[in-house]
């Protein structure tokens, strides 16, 4: 089977991560996964939300948005509608939760990392691209913090990346769905993994359809293969900073 854009079933789209994309944020990237482009920034705030105060631990939270013309049809701004929609909330909760899995919140101390993922062009997989890019932006911000402040230890414990896999209407299992594939998919699964190969999040969803246990396992295998390629791109983007994380993995403390 050939996919509509010529990819093989287990082939991810070209990925680039441009670091320090913006002037002001402590960490920022422009990540491109095929035609999907997301600006991810990380901001460090020297305090934590109310429910964590005085506990010595930090927090990571995320917000996600799309430019109105990131999409083929113009999408109304959530600011204009006066409220954040259900899909946006679901995605930003996912991003925050995923990143917290590789953050040593005690080492971070009473600080909040604000992650902002703004999709400037959407072609499927915006939430997984956001996680993959946000990890790099967050790591850049933490590296600066680690140089400036007296942290006990480097607070990022492992690499983290995400991709989607799915089952097409014809029953074909495929890796890294673009918008056309995603719209037609019977099953859609988002997988978030750490560099050590553990799962952080696994969200498989049948859209008016179901999947068997065997398909579940094949999809997960496909996702694992894709995510390993993402780790390589992240490592290249991070350069020396990436070393600190690899040392962690070898010698976690």
Can you give the binding site for its own copies, defined by CB under 8 A? 22-25, 28, 35, 39, 41, 43, 45, 63, 65, 67-72, 74, 77-90, 92-93, 97, 100-101, 103, 105, 114, 116, 118, 120-121, 123, 189, 194, 196-213, 216-217, 220
CB of residue 188 to its own copies, shortest distance in Å: 11
Tell me the DSSP string of 40-89: EEEEEESS--GGGTTSS--EEEEEEEE-GGGSSSPPPPHHHHTS--HHHH
Inter-residue contact 200 to 161 (CB < 8 Å):
no
Between helix 240-250 and helix 126-148 the angle, nearest 10°, is 90
Q: Is 87 annotated as a binding residue?
A: yes
- Taking the complex as a whole, the smallest distance from the CB of residue 208 to its own copies amounts, in Å, to 5
Q: Which is nearer to its own copies, 92 or 240 (CB)?
A: 92
Q: How far is the CB of 42 from its own copies (least distance, A)?
A: 9
CA distances to 15, 121, 152, 235 from 62, in Å: 22, 19, 25, 22
**Sign of torsion over alpha carbons 190, 141, 92, 117:** negative
CB of residue 114 vs its own copies: minimum separation in angstroms?
Answer: 6
Residue closer to its own copies (CB basis): 177 or 193: 193
Name the residue nearer to its own copies (CB basis): 169 or 210.
210
Annotated binding site for phosphate: 87, 125-127
């Amino acid at each position: 089977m050939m996919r509509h854009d010529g990819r093989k079933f287990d082939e991810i789209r070209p990925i680039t991560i441009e670091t320090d994309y913006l002037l002001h944020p402590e960490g920022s990237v422009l990540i491109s996964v095929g035609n999907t482009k997301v600006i991810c920034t990380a901001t460090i705030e020297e305090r934590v939300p109310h429910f964590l105060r005085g506990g010595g631990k930090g927090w990571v939270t995320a917000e996600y948005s799309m430019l109105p013309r990131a999409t083929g049809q113009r999408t109304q701004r959530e600011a204009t509608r006066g409220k954040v929609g259900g899909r946006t909330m679901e995605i930003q909760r996912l991003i925050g939760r995923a990143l917290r899995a590789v953050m040593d919140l005690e080492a971070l101390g009473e600080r909040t990392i604000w992650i902002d993922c703004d999709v400037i062009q959407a072609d499927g997989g915006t939430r997984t691209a956001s996680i993959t890019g946000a990890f790099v932006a967050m790591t850049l911000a933490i590296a600066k913090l680690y140089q400036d402040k007296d942290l006990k230890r480097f607070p990022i414990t492992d690499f983290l990346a995400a991709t989607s896999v799915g089952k097409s209407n014809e029953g074909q299992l495929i890796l890294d769905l673009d918008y056309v594939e995603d719209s037609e998919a019977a099953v859609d699964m988002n997988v978030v993994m750490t560099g050590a190969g553990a799962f952080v999040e696994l969200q498989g969803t049948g859209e008016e359809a179901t999947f068997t246990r065997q398909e579940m396992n094949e999809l997960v295998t496909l996702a694992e293969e894709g995510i390993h390629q993402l780790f390589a791109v992240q490592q290249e983007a991070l350069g020396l900073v990436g070393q600190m994380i690899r040392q962690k993995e070898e010698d976690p403390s």
